[in-house]
Amino acid sequence: MINYKIDVFKELEKHGFTQARLKKENLLSQQTISNIRAGKSITMNTLNKLCLMTRLQPADIIEMKATDQEKVIYY
């Protein structure tokens, strides 16, 4: 399970990446923007883009937490 540690869109805006710009310049797809907004998972490629745009590391943006089912399988 992935938890976003920051408000991704606020952090992007600090660096000049408004949601309008993200869409206009096709930096992130509408589906990706919706996934981030809903707290859903994203691809590694998207995480890389977010890191580049915000100048943060992956661990600054997301936190991995095991679900109960994942704990049974992997722990």
| pTM (two decimals) | 0.85
pLDDT digits (tens, 9 = 90+) for 26-72: 999 999 999 999 988 899 999 999 999 999 999 999 998 888 999 99
Query: What stretches of the chain show up as alpha helix (H) in DSSP?
Result: 8-14, 19-24, 30-38, 44-54, 58-61, 68-74
pLDDT tens for residues 2-12?
Answer: 789 999 999 99
Six-digit token pair at 43?
């691809």
Q: How far, in Å, CA of 23 to CA of 13, rounded?
A: 13
Q: Are 62 and 47 in contact (CB under 8 A)?
A: yes
CATH topology of domain 2-74: 434 Repressor (Amino-terminal Domain) (1.10.260)
Question: How far apart, in whole angstroms, are the C-alpha atoms of residue 72 and residue 35?
Answer: 27
